[in-house]
Amino acid sequence: MMMEGFFEQVYRLVSQIPAGRVATYGQIASLLGRPKSAKIVGWAMRSAPSDRRLPCHRVIKKTGRLAPEYAFGGSENQRMLLENEGVTFKADGSVDLARHRWEITRDKF
């Protein structure tokens, strides 16, 4: 099924996000050649098999906001995981993307 193949691509890419860095749903989608598929990346993150130990907490919204409350045990847990890796937040509670966005180009993965 095409969606399963895309999910697998998402998982491979997300597994490469280093500690202390974040990527947005849209960034992941664009890197995989599907720039309008940010929501599908979100579905992949929500469906990620726990035994793969993917750093899904490092994928956030384009605004720097964290995942919805139902993901990762809640946004407080996601924030704690990111802060433990050195990710900083602005006064409004969003991730400082200028400092922590993962910079990778399509030709590097």
What is the arithmetic mean of pLDDT over 53-72? 86
Domain count, the chain: 1
Q: What is the number of residues in the chain?
A: 109
Angle between helices 38-47 and 2-14 (to 10 degrees): 80
DSSP secondary structure letters along 38-67: HHHHHHHHHH--GGG---GGGEE-TTS---
Rounded distance, CA 86 to CA 96, Å? 11
Rounded distance, CA 66 to CA 94, Å? 7
User: Residue 101: what residue type?
Assistant: R
Q: Residues 12-53: pLDDT tens digits?
A: 999 999 999 999 999 999 999 999 999 999 999 989 998 999
| Residue 17 DSSP code | P
What percentage of the chain reaches a pLDDT higher than 90? 76
Specify whether 39 is catalytic: no
Residue 20's domain comprises 2-108
The pLDDT, as a whole number, for residue 67 is 78
CATH code of residue 30: 1.10.10.10
Active-site option among 22, 56, 60, 87: 56
